[in-house]
Amino acid sequence: MRKWIAFPHREGLTSRQAHADLPEKAPYEREVGRNGFFGPATHIHHRHAPTGWSEWEGELRPRAFDLNELPDSPDCPWDAPTLLHNAHCQYRLWTCRASMKNLVRNSDGDELLFVHTGAGALYCDYGHLDIRDGDYVVIPRGTQWRLEVSEPMQLLMIEATNDYYQLPDKGLVGNHAIFDATVLDTPAIDDAFRAQYSEDPWQVRVKRHDQQSVIHYPFNPLDAEGWHGDLSVVRVNWRDIRPLMSHRVHLPPSAHSTFVASRFVVCTFVPRPIESDPGALKVPFYHSNDDFDEVIFYHAGDFFSRDNIDTGMVTFHPAGFPHGPHPKAFAAGQAHKKTFTDEVAVMIDTRDALHMGEAIRQVENPDYVYSWRETGDPS
């Protein structure tokens, strides 16, 4: 058995509670925490913003990437370059411009698709499912699937390597919070699915140990007539997510968890009212989350805590340094200039360090590290 070393203590000038009524002489609160936002934590009150560095040397740094500048995607999702990865997670962006002519199967882990743009239909072992922008689609490991495109689709693909996706424990707020499981849609054995039965030859491209094998069939193996059970492809759209909110305190990212794997979590930031209590912090708090790497994909809207970040971009904040809102966002929060956020973003927090692929290095903004300067402009 193990137990955290815990001894709540106050020292010097502090607020009475975290994230609220910060002292005027030390208005920059930094949360230093363990185990994400679930372990012991201390809130340190600084005279200066902990992101107020003047120079930076070395490979460890905050990074931003414009995925809109990636080269054209290949036809097969398994050929899309891995942008970020570790032993438990692979992070890709793939553009499906035309309907797939063969099936694919991921035998390395569950796949999570997030439809950034476009629309079409997913055909898989479980049937047919229409998908559109903003959809999450969880594809269990070993499932055969393909896409038919009505509008070219750009998809964020997050693999839970040698693992599976589950729903987060919603604790005190109960099973119907954030989204009710009744909004999870599953594929149907419908007329559209039956129409694709075929006695023509088909191929299945299988990814295992990051290598591809091709299985040939003299018929379309998506030939199920029915199924029963509690394992399936499932879909939920960000528009169905009803975020947890508090008008009196800014909630940590963990309150916005959508899916969890063993070594990382997927969170979704959706439009919500900004905290209205006069003393409440109204932007994400500065924090040193030294057990997790943080990656945010910006899907839509105005990203209120970041400057010069547009749709289709990604920020990557590895563990090892504090991060938080940009100066203009912090000042706007103090002035309560906005009462509502309209951002939609997908975040992953990984317990293990992420490594960058060569493709994502080619679309990095090298000036992002200095975007916290009061006069900095990374555009």
Secondary structure in 3-state letters for 3-71 = CCCCCCCCCCCCCCCCCECCCCCCCEEEEEECCCCCCCEEEEEECCCCCCCCCCCCCCCCEEEEHHHCC
Per the annotation, binding residues for Fe cation are 287, 293, 323
Per-residue pLDDT at 63 exceeds 50: yes
The Cα 361–Cα 358 span in angstroms is: 5
Residue 305's pLDDT is 63
- What's the predicted TM-score (pTM) here? 0.94
Q: What is the mean pLDDT of residues 201-209?
A: 98
pLDDT of residue 290: 86
pLDDT > 60? residue 378: no
With b for 16 or more beta-carbon neighbours within 10 A and e for fewer, the 342-360 pattern comes to ebbbbbbbbbbebebeebb
Binding-site residues from annotation for homogentisate? 323
In the chain, what are the domains? 28-65+243-370 (2.60.120.10), 83-238 (2.60.120.10)
pLDDT digits (tens, 9 = 90+) for 235-284: 999 999 999 988 998 888 889 999 999 999 999 999 999 888 888 888 88
Catalytic residues: 250
What integer pLDDT is reported at residue 262 of this predicted model? Answer: 97
pLDDT at residue number 252: 86
Mean pLDDT for the chain? 93
What pLDDT is stored for residue 379 in this prediction? Answer: 35
Contacts of 266 (CB under 8 A, 6+ apart): 112, 158, 165, 257, 258, 259, 260, 346, 347, 348
